[in-house]
Structure 1
Amino acid sequence: MSTTADEPTRAPSAEGARGLPDGTGAHARVVLDGAGLDVGGVVRLADHDAVPDVPAEALARVRHAWQAAERLAARGRLYGRGTGVGAHRQIAVDEADLAGHGLRLLRSHAGGAGAVLPARQARAMLAVRTNQLLAGGSGIHPDFVEALAEALRLGVHPAITEYGSVGTGDLTALAQTGLALLGEHPWLGAPSDASGPGAEHPRAGSPRGVDPYEDGSPIPVPRRPRYGTAAPRPQAAPQPQAIAQPQSGTTAPRPQPAPRPRAAPAAGAGLPAPVMLRPGDALALLSSSALTLGQAALACHDLTVLLRAAHAVAALSLLAVSGSTEAYAAPVHAVRPYPGPARAAAEVRRLLGLPDRPPPGGGRRVQDPYGFRAFPQVHGAALDAAERLRHVVETEINCPTENPLIVPDDDTAYHHGGFYAAPLGLALDAADLALLGTAQLSAARLAGLGRADLTGLPAFLAEGPAGSSGTMIMEYTAHSALAELRASASPASAGHTVLSHGLEEAAGFASQAARQALRAVDAYRTVLACELVVAVRALRLSGTTPDMPAFTVASAVLPPQTEDRPLTPDISEATDLLPHLAHL
């Protein structure tokens, strides 16, 4: 684990956590040392539920690599330090213009477009890039690393636009970050009415970044409005107000900037001091897919929480239709020993209080529809895909992927393509496809819960005058979200492009895959919430009160009324329940 604390970390209150104490209070810490950052640590930093802890030895490693890069540059040209970049790689840069070249590189590459990304995603990028640089392969000056960590501590982040990456490095996002570090691009912060760091952007779909099963502490049932993963696309005007900036530390003349996104600073928060740009720093900062990795870490964390919650939701649905438990028996999964399916079946057995070998013939039917019978196989594949994604993300965020790679002990620089994010893009695409499969079964179970022949209850669980609709519309809502998930599951890694005069003749499009994963996770959250609402209603109408913690928790929160009425509030309540169900 990468998290430490001065005091034990407590679960958030039922009203929603308000972040860490300000000023001199105790803070949870996430160690950034270039080697031990995990997905949970990225999430805590992204949500400002922790502050970075940078060990002195890690900063010393950065300085050692910077000194090695200085020696290597003095002996001969290094890509991006004494040369242009991309198709201009053979063009020599005048030695007297090296600092100016770096500044022009940042300015010219800060050409992103689209919506300004949510704070959570920008802070995840800062966390990943800081940790990568602390691995000591970039040759960047330590001042940049300290400034990135300071931005995380202060609760500010650069204004980052959505479009600009194709999976071979997040050039535009990191160029915008570099200009913010120099004082040429705005920092955004928490609103002035925030009561503490972290109050600006609560976690999507689960309380304030706590990962169920990670620290063992209970998650209270949330009673608050839902916050979606994907922030609404901002309108062209008005833009947030800018934090005032000092002049850049560079000697190059500063042009008058065009109007930029602006926001008020967080109460009591400062800004990182502008950093002096040195030769080689610009490319060293840009050579990374840190934004894509940060978004992937957020998607992986939220996906893991939802997949855990799905065990409880599927168990409630199985109970509501008096489904057969034979499909969940341990011997069934022992003969086909994939980890995910075995785990999914075991979780359902545990939640229902079943033995490893449930007695045969316990269900209402000889065989149930696939939504109930094939849940372990389909959902298990999603569990395995999520674990694979976590492995790839946690490998990448602890790797020095910069080009050229500086190896101080060898006094050598290696030019390479390690920034090409093919493993990440493939892992994200696989997770989306696997998620689509289990989401389709969730929608199928929802439909089954409305069938009188499966439940013995009124069609669509309707009560009241003849012709009442009951939960009929829930299928439409779930399938609308499912359509978004299906669109997001189209493999981004199948894309192709040729750039920079043909020098870069392929791209992995992991950046697109990360954005698709965030949308897919948000859509799955809605599908699962719809199933939960309908499953709880079916169990209530059956006249039984299952001795099952998931039902006890859900029935205490979801409204009991069964007359025809708007069900949007029920879906919102169910959405907020999912992280709690994941912890049961």
Structure 2
Amino acid sequence: MRTIVVDGTALTCAQVARAAREEVPVAVSPEGVARARAAWRTAREVAAEQPVYGRTTGVGANREVGVEWEDADAHGLRLLRSHAAGAGPLVAPEIVRAMLVVRLNQLAAGGSGVDPGVLAVLADVLNLGLLPPVPVYGAIGTGDLTALASTALCLLGERHWLPAPDGAPHRGPGFRLRSADALAFISSNAATLGESALAVTDLRTLLSASTVVAALSLHAVRGSEEPYAPAVHEACPHPGQQEVATAMRTLLAFEKPAPMRIQDPYGYRAFPQVHGPALEAGGYAADVVGREINAAAENPLVDVAGRAVWHNGNFHTAYAGLALDAARAALFQTMALSAARLGTLSEPSFTGLYPFQGATEASSGIMILEYVAHSALADVRRLATPAALGSAVLSRGVEEHAGFSTQSARATTEALGAYRIALGCELVAAVRALRTQGRPPAGGPLRSAYGVAAEALDPRVDDRPLDTDIAVAADLLPTLARLLP
């Protein structure tokens, strides 16, 4: 399996997802190690000449309190112990792995001043499959201090890594993190950004799959292709809208439409106008997160070229939180159209079948799918509330703002889980309608998508539990996304 080489400048969200979810080796480039070493040397030189936050001073409201020389070695360890205080259930292993990859890349960017020896150790931790315990509660978008302090204590051997694949607690590779490097190691949003990278990767996959599912539904209800005509989108040229319309035309290119209506419901007629903003919001969020995971967003920032240390606010991830907030709002809008299309797939006037595509006129058929989809939609409506509407004043008033990007990332993860379920419901209904009608798509990628789904989904139309069908359909979505032209 191809190794992911982390160099501090070119890590992608998709690579974060691969490293978090697959058994892919991770390595650090020599250039990344060299940048980290240069920053480490510069940080030590500057701290010997002037106060540096967290190295020669306390943190938060204690920023004006200098660390006595005789206390220097103990100060950093006390900082790690006091900040390793997250609470609640542990976050998913893939999010922890994403955090480790992102922090490794940030350190390789060369702005932290942390001992460069820790880079190889973090790579070893990833390659051994070890995880620090990271509780869900502890960050508000201005630094994942509790998660990274827990990681540091694992490196120091004070905490066990989570059970290795053999099920036993593992001390793993140790590293003597110097006291002066303690704050520099934990002053990062790596956990928030790691989860954000997973979320934007999944979002773009599901949005692509949604276009394919919508095309199958349109074909099943004998919908009109007029809403996707080039002239329509040249008249209102939003990029996302045009992208959706072009994809729909390509997917439907092999069909010989005989529309049953002069004008379809919004689920079909306004699909480009509603799904397009979701594509654009997802693309923007991916760009923002991509910049963040490759940034030396450290406080203080070690400037090797200027032989200086800058105290700054790059730890604040307002960009990421606001981008994810916008993406969830757009996701809710396009998900509502999926639920609307599902409603048409239950209607005889749209499908030419019995109500709810039942085996008989009195059968329940796919009736329950609408309830499931709207249940998922209700959760996304709740989760779409912007996390950025909150704020906080902390540490005796000196840290007087928070964007809650951590909560925005978590809400996006949960919203995407619900979106998968709703799309799965629509896919089950569209494929069942086309199979019962005996009208598979004529060719091209839409025929391939139908073939993949029809082979995997149960062909029976008698009343039976549909929970397995929904799960199978949801699992098919990444495959369908790859078929989008």
Q: How far off is 1:386 after superposition?
A: 0.7
**C-alpha distance in structure 1 between counterparts of 2:66 and 2:29, whole Å:** 37
**Counterpart in 1 of 2:97?**
123
Q: 1:60 to 1:576 in 2, by over 3 A?
A: same
Provide the alpha-carbon RMSD of the alignment.
Answer: 1.4
Amino acid at match of 2:455: A
- Structure 2 SS opposite 1:69: helix
- Structure 1 SS opposite 2:396: helix
Q: Does 1:84 align with 2:66?
A: no
**Counterpart in 1 of 2:436?**
541
Q: How far off is 1:457 after superposition?
A: 1.8
Q: Does 1:391 align with 2:365?
A: no
Amino acid at match of 1:579: P
**C-alpha distance in structure 2 between counterparts of 1:386 and 1:354, whole Å:** 29
Q: Does 1:290 align with 2:190?
A: yes
Given candidates 106, 116, 121, the residue that maps to 1:147 is 121
- Structure 1 SS opposite 2:425: helix
Q: Does 1:348 align with 2:243?
A: no
Q: Does 1:461 align with 2:354?
A: no
Question: Contact 1:182/1:276 (CA < 8 Å) preserved in 2?
Answer: yes
Question: Contact 1:48/1:155 (CA < 8 Å) preserved in 2?
Answer: no
Once the two structures are superposed, residues 519-563 of structure 1 have per-residue CA deviations (whole angstroms, 9 ceiling, x without a partner) of: 011100000000000011111222323222221221111111000
Given candidates 445, 466, 469, the residue that maps to 1:567 is 466
**C-alpha distance in structure 2 between counterparts of 1:47 and 1:190, whole Å:** 15
Q: How far off is 1:409 after superposition?
A: 1.3
Q: Does 1:557 align with 2:456?
A: yes
**Counterpart in 2 of 1:93?**
67
- Structure 2 SS opposite 1:31: strand
**C-alpha distance in structure 1 between counterparts of 2:20 and 2:64, whole Å:** 39
Q: 1:484 to 1:190 in 2, by over 3 A?
A: farther
Q: How far off is 1:241 after superposition?
A: 5.3
Given candidates 507, 515, 524, the residue that maps to 2:402 is 507
**Counterpart in 2 of 1:207?**
none
**Counterpart in 2 of 1:312?**
212
- Structure 2 SS opposite 1:501: coil
Q: How far off is 1:467 after superposition?
A: 2.3
Calculate the TM-score normalised by the size of structure 2. 0.96
Given candidates 456, 472, 485, the residue that maps to 2:367 is 472
Q: Does 1:103 align with 2:3?
A: no
Question: Contact 2:28/2:119 (CA < 8 Å) preserved in 1?
Answer: no
**Counterpart in 2 of 1:411?**
307
**Counterpart in 1 of 2:263?**
367
Q: How far off is 1:144 after superposition?
A: 1.8
Q: How far off is 1:354 after superposition?
A: 5.6
Given candidates 295, 301, 311, the residue that maps to 2:201 is 301
Question: Contact 2:77/2:179 (CA < 8 Å) preserved in 1?
Answer: no
**Counterpart in 2 of 1:200?**
none
**C-alpha distance in structure 2 between counterparts of 1:170 and 1:98, whole Å:** 24
Q: Which runs of 5+ in 1 are unaligned?
A: 1-26, 193-239, 246-270
**Counterpart in 1 of 2:380?**
485
Q: Which runs of 5+ in 2 are unaligned?
A: none
Amino acid at match of 1:566: P
Q: How far off is 1:345 after superposition?
A: 1.3
Once the two structures are superposed, residues 449-469 of structure 1 have per-residue CA deviations (whole angstroms, 9 ceiling, x without a partner) of: 1112222221111113x5211
Q: How far off is 1:190 after superposition?
A: 4.5
Mapping of 1:429-444 within 5 angstroms? Answer: 429-444=325-340
**Counterpart in 1 of 2:181?**
281
**Counterpart in 1 of 2:6?**
32
**C-alpha distance in structure 1 between counterparts of 2:159 and 2:379, whole Å:** 34
Question: Contact 1:28/1:49 (CA < 8 Å) preserved in 2?
Answer: no
**Counterpart in 1 of 2:348?**
452
- Structure 2 SS opposite 1:554: helix
Between 1:550-559 and 1:68-77, the stretch displaced more is 550-559
Question: Contact 1:324/1:363 (CA < 8 Å) preserved in 2?
Answer: yes
Q: How far off is 1:185 after superposition?
A: 1.7
Amino acid at match of 1:565: R
**C-alpha distance in structure 1 between counterparts of 2:39 and 2:124, whole Å:** 21
**Counterpart in 2 of 1:185?**
159
Amino acid at match of 2:351: T
Given candidates 12, 24, 28, the residue that maps to 1:50 is 24
- Structure 2 SS opposite 1:409: coil
Q: Which structure has more helix as a fraction of its residues?
A: 2
Question: Contact 2:188/2:297 (CA < 8 Å) preserved in 1?
Answer: yes
Once the two structures are superposed, residues 274-313 of structure 1 have per-residue CA deviations (whole angstroms, 9 ceiling, x without a partner) of: 2112232111111111000000011111111111111110
- Structure 1 SS opposite 2:4: strand
Q: Does 1:524 align with 2:451?
A: no
Q: 1:122 to 1:349 in 2, by over 3 A?
A: same
**C-alpha distance in structure 2 between counterparts of 1:450 and 1:539, whole Å:** 13
Q: Percent identity?
A: 51
**C-alpha distance in structure 1 between counterparts of 2:233 and 2:86, whole Å:** 49
Q: How far off is 1:189 after superposition?
A: 4.5
**C-alpha distance in structure 2 between counterparts of 1:483 and 1:532, whole Å:** 19
Question: Contact 1:558/1:574 (CA < 8 Å) preserved in 2?
Answer: yes
**C-alpha distance in structure 2 between counterparts of 1:375 and 1:319, whole Å:** 14
